[in-house]
Amino acid sequence: MLQAVLFDMDGTIVDTEPYWIAAEYRLVESFGGTWSDEHAHALVGNALIASAEYLREHGGVPLEPEEIVERLLDEVVRATRDAVPWRPGAVDLLADLGRRGVPCALVTMSYERLARVVLEQLPAETFGALVTGDQVADGKPHPEAYLTAAARLGVDPTQCVAIEDSPTGIASAEAAGCTVVAVPHNVPIEAAPGRHLIASLQDVTPDTLDAVITGRTQQSRP
């Protein structure tokens, strides 16, 4: 029943959020502004342009949103090239899904040049599709990114599991019709019907994801 698994990247597969937060602090402070972890956590999972607009408003960064995005990306790409901070269990789960022949897609609001840094550290066949923030018109929480990933894999989004770590990403996946496995990390995630909260990807196996989809399908039958 499980047709594919659609993975968020930042905070889910790799713990790049500290890189983003450090870059935000440096950028805001370089213009004499002040930043906070509360502001930083408000941006987790957002489209980068939306985050840039937030930085202009709340951090006093007097740059166009596109330039803000590029400056942040420059720093995060450099840091990720130096050390890819894998989340516990992520690489093992991807390998297990590959051995089972389960298609996977990477669905991230980071731009392609950062996603490629992560993909370079994985076997080439790990992901059958890549959707990045610079490839969609509407970022998360809009469902476009997840609908695009399912379409590129040729699967039904309602038969896919999306693995996410942020409320914004979860809203996107649920709006696309995916079943969500949420792995909270930097920000809390509330329980909700049909949403599966798991402490770590170390607790997730292909059988876990099969059971999630099978349970949903059985519950939806008349």
CATH topology of domain 17-82: DNA polymerase; domain 1 (1.10.150)
Active site annotation includes 10: yes
pTM higher than the cut 0.85: yes
CATH number for the region 4-15+86-220 comes to: 3.40.50.1000
CA dist list (Å): 147 to 14, 107, 173, 199: 22, 10, 8, 26
Domain boundaries along the sequence of the chain: 4-15+86-220, 17-82
Over residues 55-78, the pLDDT tens digits come to: 999 999 999 999 999 999 999 999
For residue 86, what are the β-bridge partners? Answer: 14
Separation CA 189–CA 168 (nearest Å)? 10
Q: Which of 8, 37, 203, 210 is catalytic?
A: 8
Joined together, the tokens standing for residue 32 give 């004499």
Which of 10, 37, 92, 138 is catalytic? The answer is 10
Give Rg (Cα) of the chain.
17
pLDDT per residue, tens digit, the chain (222 aa), is: 899 999 999 999 999 989 999 999 999 999 999 999 999 999 988 889 999 999 999 999 999 999 999 999 999 999 999 999 999 999 999 999 999 999 999 999 999 999 999 999 999 999 999 999 999 999 999 999 999 999 999 999 999 999 999 999 999 999 999 999 999 988 889 999 889 999 999 999 999 999 999 886 444 433
Number of H helices, E strands in the chain: 9, 6
In angstroms, the CA 156 to CA 153 distance is 9
